Amino acid sequence: MYLSRSARHFPFDRVAKGSVATIGSFDGFHLGHQALLGHVLEEAKIRGLPAILMSFEPTPKEFFLADKPPARLMRFREKFDAMSAAGVDIFFCPRFNNEMKRISASTFIRQILVHALNVRHLVVGDDFRFAQDREGHLDMLARAGRSLGFSVEQMPSVILDGVRISSSAIRDALWRGDLDLATHYLGRHYRMSGHVKYGQRVGRKLGYPTANVNLDRKQSAVMGIFAVRASGKDWGPLDAVASVGTRPTFDGVKPLLEVHIFDFDRDIYGEYIHVDFIARLRSEEKFSEVDMLIKQMNKDAESARKILARTAR
């Protein structure tokens, strides 16, 4: 998959005959996203054109709600990996900034969709709006397409059990600790990925050595203690217990993902690992004594082992 972070470096030669494209944040890559992108890939194959997914970094919501942005379900690399695995040909992800914020709908259509992407067919979701003040909409795209040579198709939302699948619905389920519901909407377990970093080795001193991963997001969709499965490039998935939080017993401030992998003795510092969240055990707590924390950690590990033993891999 070719990654372009700006129109200046866009692979224009690859879209000389046109493209089939979609636009959106695709945060979480849930069942609705999968259905929409699957249709884009099918149309691209039928027409013999490259499939383009256009997104933004940061997401528009993160840009406009900078003080309190919605929790990010996927870091950029996680999104890139998901799009690559899905079969997207070109991932166009320009920076969302003040210049992009002020772009008019007509300029967006002409400069980006037509001149840069050379779109022949555009597929969008049923809630799609774009450009300054969200002035752009489906009817505007359809009218422009008739005069500029591209067609527009709107995909309906995916509805499960009477609920519209959305990133917001998944964030809500995760925050409430309902991982089963989040898994239902995602079509897979919720996952966090990242490089294992050196920490303060607090867990090792307590008898629970952990693989520490920076969250690299302004807000985490999950907080607390979880039963998880971890995997690396050539190992796993392995049962584990994980904490996402600030380690209040030790007066921590910055949230961190800490993973204790059961019956595992291998140096994985620097490795890129994946952590799949299976079940939430409890909220993070501050203990007045370290012995009390260790006793609770023992209970958490036992609970996680029991849950994972009856949960399919």
Tell me the per-residue pLDDT of 37-81, one tens digit each, with 9 for 90 and over: 999 999 999 999 999 999 999 999 999 998 899 999 999 999 999
Looking up tokens 């370290």 gives 290
Residue range 26-39: mean pLDDT, rounded: 97
Residue range 177-190: mean pLDDT, rounded: 97
Task: Evaluate whether residue 166 is within a structural domain.
Answer: no
| Shared-domain flag, residues 111 and 42 | yes
Looking up tokens 């049923």 gives 126
- According to DSSP, the β-strands at 190-197 and 211-214 are antiparallel
Q: Are 64 and 109 in contact (CB under 8 A)?
A: no
Q: Which of 55-64, 197-206, 290-299 has the lowest mean pLDDT?
A: 197-206
Q: Are 153 and 128 in contact (CB under 8 A)?
A: no
| Shared-domain flag, residues 221 and 126 | no
Q: For residue 204, what pLDDT is reported? A: 74
Residue range 241-270: mean pLDDT, rounded: 92
Q: Which of 157, 175, 204 is the last residue of a domain?
A: 157
Q: What percent of the chain has pLDDT over 90?
A: 88
Q: Sheet holding 19-23: strands in order across?
A: 2-4, 90-92, 51-54, 19-23, 119-125, 151-155
Residue 264 confidence (pLDDT) above 80: yes
Task: Evaluate whether residue 129 is within a structural domain.
Answer: yes
Residue 205 confidence (pLDDT) above 90: no
| Shared-domain flag, residues 231 and 129 | no
Q: Which of 97-111, 218-232, 251-265 has the lowest mean pLDDT?
A: 251-265
Identify the CATH number of the domain in which residue 241 sits.
2.40.30.30
Task: Evaluate whether residue 274 is within a structural domain.
Answer: yes
Q: For residue 248, what pLDDT is reported? A: 87
Identify the CATH number of the domain in which residue 60 sits.
3.40.50.620
| Shared-domain flag, residues 12 and 139 | yes
Q: Are 15 and 50 in contact (CB under 8 A)?
A: yes
Task: Evaluate whether residue 84 is within a structural domain.
Answer: yes
Residue range 250-259: mean pLDDT, rounded: 88
| Shared-domain flag, residues 138 and 193 | no
Q: Which of 157, 173, 199 is the last residue of a domain?
A: 157
Q: For residue 159, what pLDDT is reported? A: 96
Residue 108 confidence (pLDDT) above 80: yes
| Shared-domain flag, residues 243 and 108 | no
Residue 199 confidence (pLDDT) above 80: no
Residue 138 confidence (pLDDT) above 80: yes
Q: Is 147 exposed, middle or buried (0-12, 13-18, 19+ CB in 10 A)?
A: exposed
Task: Evaluate whether residue 14 is within a structural domain.
Answer: yes
Q: Is 3 exposed, middle or buried (0-12, 13-18, 19+ CB in 10 A)?
A: middle
| Shared-domain flag, residues 22 and 114 | yes
| Shared-domain flag, residues 96 and 194 | no
Beta-bridge mates of residue 282: 225
Q: For residue 252, what pLDDT is reported? A: 78
Among 201-210, 211-220, 248-257, which range has the highest average pLDDT?
211-220
Residue 198 confidence (pLDDT) above 90: no
Q: For residue 254, what pLDDT is reported? A: 86
Question: How many whole angstroms separate alpha carbon 274 and alpha carbon 121?
Answer: 35
**What is the widest separation between alpha-carbon atoms in the chain?**
72
Task: Evaluate whether residue 13 is within a structural domain.
Answer: yes
| Shared-domain flag, residues 141 and 194 | no
- Tokens for 185, please give them: 């909407």
Q: For residue 202, what pLDDT is reported? A: 67
Half-sphere exposure of 70 (CA within 13 A, CB side): 18
Q: Are 247 and 197 in contact (CB under 8 A)?
A: no
Residue range 134-160: mean pLDDT, rounded: 96
pLDDT, tens digit, 9 for 90 and up, residues 223-246: 999 999 999 999 999 999 999 999
Residue range 16-38: mean pLDDT, rounded: 97
Q: Which residue has the higher pLDDT, 19 or 265?
A: 19
Number of domains, the chain: 2
Task: Evaluate whether residue 181 is within a structural domain.
Answer: no
Its domain, for residue 53, covers: 2-157
Residue 157 confidence (pLDDT) above 90: yes
Instruction: Supply the pTM of this predicted model.
Output: 0.93
Q: What is the per-residue DSSP string for 243-294?
A: EEE--GGGT--S-EEEEEETT-----TT-EEEEEEEEEEE-----SSHHHHH
| Shared-domain flag, residues 9 and 151 | yes
Task: Evaluate whether residue 142 is within a structural domain.
Answer: yes
| Shared-domain flag, residues 69 and 141 | yes
Q: For residue 180, what pLDDT is reported? A: 96
| Shared-domain flag, residues 89 and 149 | yes
Question: How many whole angstroms separate alpha carbon 113 and alpha carbon 74?
Answer: 25
| CA-closest candidate to residue 198, choices 250, 271, 126 | 271
Average pLDDT in the chain: 95
